[in-house]
């Protein structure tokens, strides 16, 4: 992921603090620059501030305030080329089908 010659900049959007802390430790071990957000609203705001720097976004699918799917749509509207990975223990099937159809 270091095609730009700098450490990858990753945004993690997850409502569980423990998940954010674990991923932060793993990312630091890999030399990644990690931004975190506790929900979709904060995640979109942070992405907006750093959209030209973020290489990859991890989004929890099930979150309060704004779902992972809604967060994804907002982020893709701001940068259609950013890579996004969904993470979740529970996944709503209709939304996954729609995402698959959109590529």
Q: What single string gives the DSSP state of each residue in 57-79? A: EEEESS-SSS-HHHHHHHHHHH-
What is the structure's pLDDT at 2?
Answer: 47
Domain extent for 20: 9-102
Regions in the chain scoring below 50 on pLDDT: 2
Can you give the pLDDT at residue 64?
85
Instruction: Map residue 3 onto helix, strand or coil.
Output: coil
Angle at 63 between CA 57 and CA 64, to 5 degrees: 135
Answer yes or no: is 64 within a domain: yes
CA 71, 18, 82: angle at the middle one, nearest 5?
30
Domain count, the chain: 1
Q: Is 30 inside any structural domain?
A: yes
Assess contact for 87 and 62: CB atoms under 8 A: no
Q: Is 1 contained in some domain?
A: no
At 11 the pLDDT is: 97
pLDDT of residue 89: 73
Is 72 among the domain residues? yes
């Amino acid at each position: 992921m270091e095609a730009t010659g700098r450490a990858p900049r990753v945004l993690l959007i997850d409502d569980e603090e423990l998940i954010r802390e674990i991923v932060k430790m793993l990312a630091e071990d890999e030399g990644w620059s990690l931004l975190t957000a506790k929900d979709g609203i904060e995640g979109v705001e942070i992405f907006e501030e750093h959209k030209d720097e973020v290489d990859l976004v991890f989004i929890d699918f099930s979150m309060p305030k704004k779902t992972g799917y809604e967060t994804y749509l907002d982020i893709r509207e701001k940068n259609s080329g950013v890579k996004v990975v969904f993470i979740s223990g529970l996944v709503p099937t209709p939304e996954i089908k729609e995402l698959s159809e959109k590529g």
